[in-house]
């Protein structure tokens, strides 16, 4: 099973949630030998005011997480695929080859932590619906993840992120007419077209790169890219990300 972990934020049942997911396994699904999903929902003792992990409890929760993983490996029962932290609770999610030993693995892991309240369970999930619908990022969540990675990189280079500069975007469409209609709209909003991208054997789509002076600060770029995603979809296209240069004070 491939290991490629992503951490991101979302809203679940009206509460802010921190989600850690092994995104690397998505190319291997559905699994041929893991038909059950198992969970352990732990009530945290000292969550922060947002219901997430506090510095005070972080080390202990990490120790519990490692212990559960050790026991799952000892029982050879399945694979750890992610966790959700929200509303004062931490939920660990595993996909299992079988579930009849899941209670034994859980109880073996948690016997050292008898001051914690928890519940656990399992059910058939041969299509990995929990993974796809609850853990794996949506296209919009993926865009925010990538936005913040670029922002973090710019910041590491000494960029304050608050200075406007040319930010270049790309989008692709099935027809040249859809692309032309999109261009008309973005030009009315102050964007300029840098160049058109003609279809090729590898990319049989009508693309373009375009730019505008904007700030790449986290919330600003999230708002802008989510708007461009919606706009591209409105013209039956797909937004394909952004890039910009480092600007130091």
DSSP 8-state secondary structure symbol assigned to residue 28: G
The pair of structure tokens assigned to 211 is 């730019």
For range 231-244, the mean pLDDT:
96
Number of domains forming the structure of the chain: 2
Q: Domain of 162: which CATH number?
A: 3.30.70.970
- Helix H or strand E segment including 141: helix 139-156
Q: Are residues 48 and 84 in the same domain?
A: yes
Q: Are residues 121 and 197 in the same domain?
A: no
E strand residue ranges, 106-202: 118-124, 165-173, 192-197
Q: Are residues 73 and 161 in the same domain?
A: no
- Encode 165-191 in three state secondary structure: EEEEEEEEECCHHHHHHHHHHHHCCCC
Does the residue 249 lie in any domain? no
Q: Are residues 145 and 54 in the same domain?
A: no
Peptide bond into 225 cis (omega under 30): no
Does the residue 192 lie in any domain? yes
pLDDT at 32 over 80: no
Tens-place pLDDT, residues 79-101: 999 999 999 999 999 999 999 99
Confidence of residue 30 (pLDDT cuts 50, 70, 90): low
Q: What is the pTM of this model?
A: 0.82
**27-41, 150-164, 211-225, range with the lowest pLDDT:** 27-41
pLDDT at 240 over 70: yes
β-pair partners for 82: 21, 93
Give residue 116's domain range: 5-135
* Interatomic CA distance for residues 192 and 244, integer angstroms: 15
Tens-place pLDDT, residues 92-134: 999 999 999 999 999 999 999 999 999 999 999 989 999 999 9
pLDDT at 1 over 70: no
């Amino acid at each position: 099973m491939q290991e490629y972990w992503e951490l991101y934020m979302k809203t679940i049942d009206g509460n802010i949630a921190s989600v850690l997911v092994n995104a690397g396994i998505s190319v291997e699904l559905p699994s041929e030998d893991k038909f059950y999903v198992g969970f352990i929902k732990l009530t945290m003792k000292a969550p922060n005011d947002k219901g997430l992990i506090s510095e005070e409890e972080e080390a202990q929760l990490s120790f519990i997480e490692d212990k559960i993983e050790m026991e799952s490996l000892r029982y050879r029962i399945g694979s750890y695929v992610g966790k959700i932290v929200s509303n004062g609770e931490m939920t660990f999610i595993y996909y299992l080859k079988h579930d009849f030993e899941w209670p034994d693995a859980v109880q073996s892991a948690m016997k050292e932590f008898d001051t914690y309240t928890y519940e656990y369970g399992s059910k058939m999930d041969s299509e990995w619906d929990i993974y796809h619908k609850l853990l794996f990022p949506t296209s919009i969540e993926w865009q925010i993840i990538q936005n913040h990675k670029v922002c973090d990189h710019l910041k590491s280079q000494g960029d304050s992120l608050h200075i406007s500069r040319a930010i270049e975007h790309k989008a692709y469409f099935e027809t040249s007419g859809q692309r032309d209609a999109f261009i008309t709209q973005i030009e009315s909003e102050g964007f300029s077209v840098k160049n058109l991208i003609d279809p090729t054997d590898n990319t049989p789509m009508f693309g373009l790169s375009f730019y505008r002076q904007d700030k790449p600060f986290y919330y600003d770029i999230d708002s802008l890219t989510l708007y461009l995603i919606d706009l591209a979809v409105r013209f039956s296209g797909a937004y394909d990300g952004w890039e910009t240069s480092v600007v130091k004070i």
